[in-house]
Structure 1
Amino acid sequence: MTVTLITGGNKGIGYETARRLIAEGQTVWIGARDPERGRQAAATLGASFVQLDVTSDTSVAAAVDTIRDRAGRLDILINNAGILGDVTSPEDMTVDQLRTVYETNVFGVVRVTNAFLPILRQAATPSVINVTSGLGSFTMIHDPERVESKYPLAAYGSSKTAVTMLTMQYAKTAPDVRFNAVDPGQTATEFTGNLGHSVEDGAAAAVHIATLGPDTPTGTVTDREGVLPW
């Protein structure tokens, strides 16, 4: 049975992704900073819970130990945890505002990925799925027909550009693990002020990649409609 960990899986797109993957027969671990909310989400879904703060080396190491001890391996890691940060133009942004967003959205992805790679490599077809955003796409933010062109999210957008490039670099340098990035699009959750399409649509790209098994590609960037322009 496929063992999957979803960071930030206690609500929103992460929660819906967990629900869908459990329905597909996967064993899903919900990683969440807040133990009470994480346990409640896991209990509702029929998932397992592990306390996981992606900004903490200690928390991530403890989560690795927990999953190694209880599951023996990890087949799929979905780096879903992320924060929006302040909506500030670059000229008004402080370094600390940028650092806060990058600590979760970029450094957190690297911290979690590198910590879990040893037990991912114990799986037959290990896979890492990084949740990116069209707000980090050079093509999409310049297309007036796209919603991504409407928001001046310098910190968040640039953090997702970094996530996508990191995904490609992992894919090039670690060919024994499949690395892919997925864009949920603007999804109606607390994160977006409930603007956008359904969480079912938002989770679609991650669920698709997570259910391909041996046919999982590597080095791709997709949304629910296919290849994402970048």
Structure 2
Amino acid sequence: MKSVLITGANRSIGLETAKQLSSKGLLVYLGSRSLEKGEAVVKELQEKGYQNIKAIEIDVTNPDSISEARNTIEREQGKLDVLINNAGILGINPQTASETSIKDIQQVFDTNFFGVISVTQAFLDLLKKSDSPRISNITSGLGSLTLHSDPSWKYYHVKGAAYGPSKSALNAYTIVLAYELRELPFKVNVIDPGYTATDFNAHSGPGSVESAASFIIKHTLTDENGPTGQYFSNDIEDEIGISPW
């Protein structure tokens, strides 16, 4: 049975992704900053018939928490097949370039950018033990510099000094990581689940968590001929959904 770790998976898109992957027969480690909250969610899922989901405590901004999660998965599985870096925060609003404090920007980057790097580096050796390792970094359309520079883009006026730039940085890191691992069987991509109705945005998005999770899984569970170092978006209206950087 393949194993997958999803950070920030105790609610919203991460939770739905865990449910769908469990239904596909993967062993899902449902990452949550609070083990108590994660275990409560898993108990509810088990009552609904999901049996191959386990709660695991992981705070992507806490090195000790990451290390403990890594050691747990190594002890229980010996390897990791799929890493979905889903945990993220929006930060305070508004996020004007002229007035948003460095502290507030750093807080967003600590989770959305540095947290992803910390988790990825910690689990890389376990992923290398997999026959088909996959790393999916969950990004946003707001991370696209090309779209942000296009006045005709429908979200052109949705600007911020913290969240969007943190995702742009994540996109750039993913390109470098995919290149570094290009000779190995890794597939490393950034995936934008689209503007989805979740607690994250006060349910203002038009998309469903079911669609968002399905899109993430589609571009994560790819075969050996699948792309790597690519940027996919559920808001791009074509069959493949490739987003400009």
Alignment TM class, shorter chain as reference: over 0.9
Distance 1:23 1:174 in 2: 29
Residues 113-142 of structure 1: CA deviation (Å, up to 9, x unaligned): 000001001100111000011101112223
* 1:1-230 pair list within 5 angstroms: 1-45=1-45, 46=50, 47-87=53-93, 88-175=95-182, 176=184, 177-196=186-205, 197-224=207-234, 225=238, 226-230=241-245
Distance 1:199 1:218 in 2: 24
Counterpart of 1:168 in structure 2: which amino acid?
Answer: I
- Name stretches of at least 5 consecutive residues in structure 2 with no aligned partner: none
Distance 1:147 1:104 in 2: 27
Distance 1:44 1:220 in 2: 35
1:144: Cα distance to partner? 4.4
1:147: Cα distance to partner? 4.1
The 10-residue stretch of structure 1 (158-167 or 37-46) with the greater mean CA deviation from structure 2: 37-46
Distance 1:216 1:26 in 2: 19
- SS of 2:10's equivalent? coil
- Relative to its length, the structure with more helix (as a share) is 1
- SS of 1:227's equivalent? coil
- SS of 1:93's equivalent? coil
Residues 11-68 of structure 1: CA deviation (Å, up to 9, x unaligned): 0110111111111111111111011211122233331111000001100000000001
- SS of 1:28's equivalent? strand
Distance 2:80 2:194 in 1: 27
Distance 2:36 2:225 in 1: 37
- Summarize the Cα distance change of 1:170–1:15 in structure 2 as closer, same or farther, 3 Å threshold: same
Counterpart of 1:55 in structure 2: which amino acid?
Answer: T
Distance 2:99 2:227 in 1: 40
TM-score normalized by the length of structure 1: 0.95
Distance 1:40 1:207 in 2: 24
- SS of 2:188's equivalent? strand
Counterpart of 2:29 in structure 1: which amino acid?
Answer: W
Distance 2:42 2:74 in 1: 18
- SS of 1:205's equivalent? helix
Residues 20 and 214, structure 2, Cα contact 8 Å, conserved in 1: no
Number of equivalenced pairs: 230
RMSD, aligned CA? 1.4
Distance 2:226 2:2 in 1: 13
Distance 2:154 2:30 in 1: 30
- Name stretches of at least 5 consecutive residues in structure 1 with no aligned partner: none
Residues 136-174 of structure 1: CA deviation (Å, up to 9, x unaligned): 111222344544323222200000000111000000112
Percent identity of equivalent pairs: 39
